[in-house]
Amino acid sequence: MAYESQLKEGSQRWSPLQGVILTVLACAATTVLATPLLGYLDLANIVMLFLLTVLLVAVKLGRNQAVLASVLSVLLFDVFFVPPRFSLEVANIQYLVTFAVMLATGLLTAHLAAGLREKAQDAERRERRTEALYQVARQLAGALAVEQIDELARAFVTTQLNAHAALLLPDELRRDLLQTAGTPGVSIEIHLARMAYQTGETVRSEAVRSQGDASLYLPLNASMRTRGVLALRFDDPYFDINSETLSLLEAMASLIAVALERLHYETVAKSSEVKMLTERLRSSILSALSHDLRTPLTAMVGLADSLSLIKPPLPTVALDTAQALHEQAGRLAGLVGNLLDMARLNAGTVTLRKEWQPLEEVIGASIKLLGAALARHPVKVGLPPDLPLLEFDAVLIERVFCNLLENSAKFAPADTPIAISATRQGDWVAITVCDSGIGFPPGCTDALFDMFARAPQRSGTPGTGLGLAICKAIVEAHHGNIHAENRADIAGGCVTFRLPVGYPPIIEEEKP
Amino acid sequence: MSQSAKVLIVEDESQIRRFIRAALEDEGCQVAESETLRRGLIEAGSRKPDLLILDLGLPDGDGIDLIRDLRGWSDMPVLILSARAQENDKIDALDAGADDYLTKPFSVGELRARVRALLRRRSRSGDDASPVVEFGDIHVDLSRRIVMRAGEPVHLTPLEYRLLSLLLAHPGKVLTQRTLLREVWGPSYVESSHYLRVFVGHLRQKLEHDPTQPQHLLTETGVGYRFQP
């Protein structure tokens, strides 16, 4: 502590040797000044002069010097004032009491005055540090770059503690710590730094300190996580790192951490803004494309239909052609829809509008939407009555059911049923769509869900192989999974997708 | 079908206007056309049509603003034409006062069915609003709060009854989830769509022949519900 204060208060303080010399001089001066007064003053009052000297020494020079002054005063008083003068001998034995009291008073004064002085110095030092901390906090709050934070931290440590600091920040993947550029004179023991980073505790090593390496590693703990490590190397290997220094450094570390966290979130906010703008652009391109593709298709479907309205009626051949035009345009519309959906899902521009809902509703809506396409395939829906509500985007899951039902209708012979069933499997609900068609080619059921994949024996039937890929993308966006298999009992294929159950909301019972 | 009902089409694509006109004239309607929203609003004011068919994707502005303007002075039925994947636009348009929507591409048959339903409602509203609604084998007497299924009384809870009567009051009209939740459960429930879905499920269990494939209480996925008489 004494040494530490000397470092910073060198201008007001003297070295121990100077202190001793000054003390000796002060006592000698007192002796010289008091000698002419010997005839006029009582010895008791001369004792007072010496005690005053001790007090002054204690206040100005500190405890050790005051002790020295007490002893010197007693000796000088004895030699120069107490008869017989100029000898240590004492004529009157009662002077021994005087000496004892004088020494005791001197020592006590020395102790009290020096204590007071240390407290005052201590308070002053704390105030300076608080002021410095306050200043650096203000500067850190305005820091716009990591380099600035680094510079402020190093400057603070150098001026306040006469030490050298280095800032260690994690790399982008938070796998390792990297030293910031421009930290000369600090060699880092990286394993100690990692320990501090991983545990979030301050690490000290006396062993590396004697080698002149950085010996103190403070984690930069911010509210979310540890943002890095502040490493310190002290110039003086015997510098005492006391609890006050530590708490100062820890305060500094948390200020740096907060500043780093603020910078981090600023970066995040900026990049998410860029991302948002990109996504907005992408989705506006997609919806413009969607509009531009659908408009002519709408006209084609409608115009083909309106041929049947012509009076007098067109010949049957022409009406059949019109109907075929309608169907082809409708298929093209379906294809465009699938392609655009896939583009949206791949671009990541789909924001799920997840809501808790019963499964049966979206199944019913899908069956109704397909309408005529399912005319030759009765759909049997078998859902257990205790099926929980599921959280999903109804529009997207409707698309999954539509694609699966459409596939089944396309590949299963006419008038064979399609079955939809669901079962609870622990934390999942598995939903299966089964048909009685030709099933899937064995061994490549996983590949069916790749884009543009088509089963070889199905190439006679029109299709792009997008349907199942979209189903997969949608189900996976819901954190579910999907797979296909052939029925064990009879011919036919099944596609099963599973959605997580999650935590369905409670529906309050209605009071009757 | 009311004779010579006046229909205004606001749509920028001439070929789409052309077949809609052909389909509606075949139904016996008088058809007026407009290419832009601004023109459309003026035409709606001067011609006072019985039905407005409005494309949501017009280049000169937001169709929803037109609906709001229109609702300031008229309750004429509004049928929206919109591309798929625009559920939010549909919901906004319906909440602004539109009555129904068609998703592009649509067939002439669908168009005519929707137009007929909307015009029928216009001709029926006003004078002889009957308290009795019948659909399938269901008989609802709104004045006596009685619901019968094939002659047998059906017990509905108060909320179920409120939901049913709200749907029955707007036959053929799509009611958005927000509207239904606000009217039946109250404004603080507008985000709790699961209540609505569960109660519609209850109604279907009690009133539909096959609750998984309803014929009358229809889901408009992502938008809301519709009662189809």
Q: What is the pLDDT of residues A168-199, one digit of tens each?
A: 888 777 677 776 655 566 778 888 888 888 88
Q: Looking at the predicted structure, is the pLDDT value of residue A466 above 90?
A: no
State pLDDT tens for residues A343-392.
Answer: 878 776 677 888 899 998 999 899 988 887 888 888 999 889 888 899 99
> Do residue A302 and residue B222 have CB atoms under 8 angstroms apart?
no
Residue A101 counted as domain residue: yes
Same domain, A41 and A76: yes
- Whether A104 and A151 map to the same domain: the answer is no
Give me the residue from B15, B23, B211 closest to A299, CB to CB: B15
Alpha carbons within 13 A on the beta-carbon side of A179: 18
Residue A90 vs residue A426, higher pLDDT = A426
Range in A50-54, A123-127, A199-203, A508-512 the model is least confident about: A508-512
> What distance in Å separates the CA atoms of residue A270 and residue A506, rounded to the nearest whole number?
39
The answer to whether residues A56 and A127 belong to one domain is: yes
pLDDT-derived band at A468 (thresholds 50, 70, 90) equals confident
pLDDT at A234 (0 to 100) = 81
Tell me the CA distances in angstroms from A252 to A222, A418, B152, one per residue in order: 12, 69, 80
Which residues on chain A are in Cβ contact (under 8 Å) with B104? 294-295, 297-298
Mean pLDDT score of chain A: 83
CA–CA dist A356, A429 (Å, integer): 14
User: Which pLDDT belongs to residue A237?
Assistant: 67
Omega cis (within 30) before A312? yes
Spell out which residues of chain B touch residue A336, defining contact as CB-CB under 8 Å: none
Q: Do A302 and B200 touch (CB under 8 A)?
A: no
A383: tokens are 């859902």
Higher pLDDT residue, A401 or A466? A401
Same domain, A343 and A389: no
A441 touches chain B (CB under 8 A): no
CB distance from B211 to chain A under 8 Å? yes
CB contact under 8 A, B194 and A389: yes
Q: Is residue A279 part of a domain?
A: no
pLDDT exceeds cutoff 70 at A9:
no
pLDDT band at A10 (very low <50, low <70, confident <90, very high): very low
Q: What is the CATH number of the domain that holds A461?
A: 3.30.565.10
Amino acid at A271: S
B 38-67 → A contacts, CB under 8 A:
57
Q: Are residues A209 and A93 in the same domain?
A: no
Domain boundary among A304, A330, A347: A347
Task: Among A298, A317, A347, identify where a domain stops.
Answer: A347
Can you give the pLDDT at residue B128? Answer: 55
Backbone angles phi, psi at B227, to 5 degrees: -95, 120
Q: How far apart are CA A268 and CA A266, in angstroms?
A: 5
Q: Which two tokens stand for residue A271?
A: 């990049």
Pair (A305, A417) in one structural domain: no
Alpha-helical regions (H) of A142-189? 146-161
- For residues A231 and A166, membership in a common domain is answered with yes
Q: Which residues of B129-145 are buried (b: 16+ CB within 10 A; e: fewer)?
A: eeeebebeebbbebeee
Contacts of A429 by beta carbon, 8 Å cutoff, 6+ apart: A359, A387, A388, A390, A422, A423, A498, A499, A501
Interface of A with B in 280-339 (CB under 8 A): 287, 290-291, 294-303, 305-306, 308-309, 326, 329-330, 333, 337
Cα separation values, A166 from A153, A154, A233, Å:
8, 7, 9
Distance CA A279, CA A347 (A): 8
For residue A223, the number of C-alpha atoms closer than 13 Å in the C-beta half-sphere is 6
Same domain as A473, residue A358: yes
Q: What is the pLDDT along chain B (229 residues), one digit of tens a residue?
A: 445 889 999 998 899 999 999 999 988 899 999 999 889 989 998 988 999 999 987 888 888 888 998 888 888 899 999 876 667 888 888 989 899 988 888 889 889 988 988 888 766 655 556 788 888 889 998 888 889 998 899 999 999 999 999 999 888 888 999 999 999 998 888 888 888 999 999 999 999 988 888 999 999 888 899 998 8
Task: Please check whether residues A130 and A183 belong to one and the same domain.
Answer: no
A356 neighbourhood in chain B, CB within 8 Å: 193-194, 197
Lowest-confidence range among A2-11, A26-35, A90-99? A2-11
Picking from B105, B194, B213, the nearest residue to A364 by CB comes out as B213
Domain containing residue A197: CATH number: 3.30.450.40
Q: Do A339 and A360 share a structural domain?
A: no
- Residue A307 in domain: yes
pTM: 0.63
Interface test with A, best of B104, B161, B162, B217 (most A CBs within 10 A): B104
Structure tokens at A299: 């006209």
List the single best residue of A287, A290, A300, A305 to mutate versus B (max B Cβ within 10 A): A305
**Substitution target from B58, B157, B194, B228 for chain A, most A beta carbons within 10 A:** B194
Q: Per-residue confidence at A164, pLDDT binned at 50, 70, 90?
A: confident
Q: How many CB atoms lie within 10 A of CB A383?
A: 18
The domain boundary residue, chosen from A296, A315, A347: A347
In a domain, A123, yes or no: yes
Per-residue model confidence (pLDDT) at position A475: 92
Q: Where is pLDDT greater, at A362 or A282? A: A362
Dihedral (C-alpha) A449, A451, A457, A460: value to the nearest 10 degrees? 130
Least CB–CB distance from A394: residue in B86, B212, B221:
B221
Nearest CA in chain A to B204: A361
Amino acid (1-letter code) at residue A325: L
Cα angle A38-A42-A47, degrees, rounded to a multiple of 5: 90
Instruction: State the first-to-last Cα distance of chain B, in angstroms, to the nearest integer.
Output: 16
Identify whether A341 is part of a domain: yes
Query: Is B214 in Cβ contact with A302 (below 8 Å)?
Result: no
Is B29 an interface residue toward A (CB < 8 Å)? no
Q: How far apart are CA A352 and CA B180, in angstroms?
A: 22
Cβ(A110)–Cβ(A71) below 8 Å: no
Q: Which chain A residues contact residue B222 at CB under 8 A?
A: 353, 393-395, 398
Provide the residue type at A260 as one letter: L
Q: Are residues A298 and B212, on separate chains, in Cβ contact within 8 Å?
A: no
In tens, the pLDDT along A288-328 reads 888 888 888 899 999 998 888 888 888 889 889 988 988 88
Token reading at A368 = 């109704």
User: Looking at the structure, do residues A376 and A303 belong to the same domain, yes or no?
Assistant: no
The number of domains in chain A is 4
Query: B1 at the A interface (CB within 8 A)?
Result: no
Distance from CA of A357 to the nearest CA of B (A): 6
Q: ipTM for the complex?
A: 0.85
Does the residue A102 lie in any domain?
Answer: yes
* pLDDT score at A8: 41
Q: Taking chain A, what is the end-to-end CA distance rounded to the nearest angstrom?
A: 79
- Give the residue on B whose Cα is nearest the Cα of A331: B105
Query: By three-state DSSP, how is residue A426 classified?
Result: coil
Q: Is position A55 within any domain?
A: yes
Tell whether A117 is covered by a domain.
Answer: yes
- Closest partner residue to A302 (CB to CB) among B108, B157, B192 is B108
Verify that A102 and A185 share a domain, yes or no. Answer: no
What integer pLDDT is reported at residue B207 of this predicted model? 92
pLDDT at A496 over 90: yes
Q: Where does the pLDDT of residue A248 fall: very low under 50, low under 70, confident under 90, or very high at 90 and above?
A: confident
A292 to chain B, minimum CA–CA distance in Å? 10
What's residue B160's pLDDT? 92
Contacts A–B by Cβ distance under 8 A:
134
Segments forming the whole domain that contains residue A366: 354-500
Element housing A167 (H / E): strand A163-170
On the question of pLDDT at A256 being above 70, the answer is yes
- Report yes or no: B194 at the A interface, CB cutoff 8 Å: yes
Cβ proximity of B198 and A329 under 8 Å: no
What is the average pLDDT across A401-428?
A: 90
